[in-house]
Amino acid sequence: MAATDPSESLFVRPLGAVERNPTALKLILGGKLRELRVAAGLDPADVDGRLGFSRSKTSRIELGRHGCKLADAIALLDLYGVESEERVEEFLRLVDQSRRPDWWRSFNDVLSDFFTPLVALESAAERIRTYEPFYVPGLLQTPAYTRAVIQAGPGQLLAHDVMRRVDLRQERQGRLDQADAPYLWAVIDESVLLRAVGGREVMRAQLEHLVALMERPRITLQIAPLDVSAAAGVGTGVTYLRFALGDLKDAVYIEHLTDSTFTQKPQIVEQYRNMLDRMGACALTPARTAAVLRERLAQY
User: 252 has which bridge partners?
Assistant: 240, 263
The set of residues, in sequence order, having a beta carbon less than 8 Å from that of 284 and lying 6+ positions away, is 222, 223, 224, 225, 292
User: Does 286 fall in a domain?
Assistant: yes
The yes-or-no verdict on residue 287 having pLDDT over 80 is: yes
- CB half-sphere exposure, 51, CA atoms < 13 A: 23
Residue that finishes a domain, picked among 56, 81, 100: 100
Same structural domain, 146 and 263: yes
Q: CB neighbours (10 Å) of residue 75?
A: 16
How much of the chain is helix, strand and coil, in % rounded to 5? 55, 10, 35
Question: Is 137 in the same domain as 79?
Answer: no
Query: Cis peptide leading into 182, omega within 30 of 0?
Result: no
Domain presence at residue 200: yes
Number of C-beta neighbours around residue 11 at 10 A: 20
Rounded-to-integer distance, Cα 17 and Cα 126, Å: 9
> Count of domains in the chain?
2
The verdict on pTM exceeding 0.75 is yes
- 91 found inside a domain: yes
* Structural domain ending residue among the three candidates 67, 85, 100: 100
Task: Report the interhelical angle of 85-98 vs 22-39 (nearest 10°).
Answer: 140
Same domain flag for 109 and 95 = no
Last-in-domain residue among 100, 122, 137: 100
Q: How far apart are CA 17 and CA 28, in angstroms?
A: 13
Residues 6+ apart with CB under 8 A from 58: 33, 37, 44, 47, 48, 51, 76
Strand-pairing partners, residue 222, are: 187
Determine, yes or no, domain membership for 234: yes
Q: Are residues 188 and 147 in the same domain?
A: yes
Whether 50 and 136 share a structural domain:
no
Encode pLDDT of 235-278 as tens digits: 789 999 999 876 788 999 998 867 789 999 999 999 999 999 99
258 in the same domain as 123 = yes
Q: Which residue has the higher pLDDT, 19 or 194?
A: 194
CA distances from 191 to 135, 148, 205, 256, 263 (A): 9, 17, 17, 19, 28
Averaged pLDDT score across all residues of the chain: 90
Q: Give CA separation, 282 vs 97, 126, 162, 277, in Å.
A: 42, 24, 36, 9
- Asked if residue 282 is part of any domain, the answer here is yes
CATH number of residue 59's parent domain: 1.10.260.40
Q: How far apart are CA 254 and CA 240, in angstroms?
A: 9
CA angle 236, 238, 239 (to 5 degrees): 160
Q: Which domain holds residue 195?
A: 104-297
CA distance 71 to 67: 12
Residues 233, 251 share a domain: yes
Whether residues 39 and 171 share a domain: the answer is no
Orientation of helix 85-98 relative to helix 70-79, angle to 10°? 150
185 and 286 both lie in a single domain: yes
Domain assignment of residue 168, yes or no: yes
pLDDT of 26 strictly over 50: yes
| Residue 2 domain flag | no
pLDDT band for 231, please (50, 70, 90 cuts): low
Residue 8, domain member (yes or no):
no
Within this chain, do residues 75 and 181 fall inside the same structural domain, yes or no? no
User: Is the CB of residue 204 less than 8 Å from the CB of residue 236?
Assistant: no
Question: Which residues are CB-contacts of 173 (< 8 A; sequence separation ≥ 6)?
Answer: 139, 141
CA 192 to chain centre: 23
What are the tens digits of pLDDT across the range 135-182? 999 999 999 999 999 998 877 889 999 999 999 999 999 988 888 889
> Are 227 and 285 members of one domain?
yes
| CATH assignment of the domain containing 143 | 3.30.870
Same domain membership, residue 112 and residue 76: no
Strand-pairing partners, residue 130, are 186, 239
pLDDT, one tens digit per residue, over 2-25 is 444 444 667 766 677 788 899 999
